[in-house]
Amino acid sequence: MHATQAHQQHPISLYLKVWGLLFLLSTLSYMVDYLHVQGILRWSLIIIFMLLKAGLIASIFMHMLWEKLALVCSIFLPPLALLVLLTLMATEAEYIFSLRTLFFTST
């Protein structure tokens, strides 16, 4: 390697800011339990905080923020597609369950 070869180096302040954001998001996630939030709001908040933390970790610590679009799409699009398919399956399962409940309990 040549001494003149440039390599990417990020300032330590970036990592400290991300660490602070991760700490804040974790605190908010724990506050959901501490404040006894219940129902769909509880799970929505927990999932939102989880996705935000995962996005921060992947974009900064795994250096995805500076990668090419093809690499980012190959990592983030498959889980997104799975999430969409799971949502569709859960919706159809709820529909089938309600139909079976309607027809099998009325006899």
Residue range 96-104: mean pLDDT, rounded? 91
Domain that holds residue 25: 1-64
* Sheet strands (E) in the chain: none
What pLDDT is stored for residue 86 in this prediction? 95
Do 45 and 76 belong together in one domain?
no
Do 84 and 50 belong together in one domain?
no
**Number of folded domains that form the chain:** 2
Residues with Cβ within 8 Å of 46's Cβ and at least 6 positions away in sequence, in order, are 29, 32
Which comes out higher in pLDDT, residue 66 or 28? 28
Do 9 and 59 belong together in one domain?
yes
pLDDT greater than 90 at residue 107:
no
Do 82 and 42 belong together in one domain?
no
Residues with Cβ within 8 Å of 14's Cβ and at least 6 positions away in sequence, in order, are 60
Confidence band, pLDDT 50/70/90 cuts, at residue 9: confident
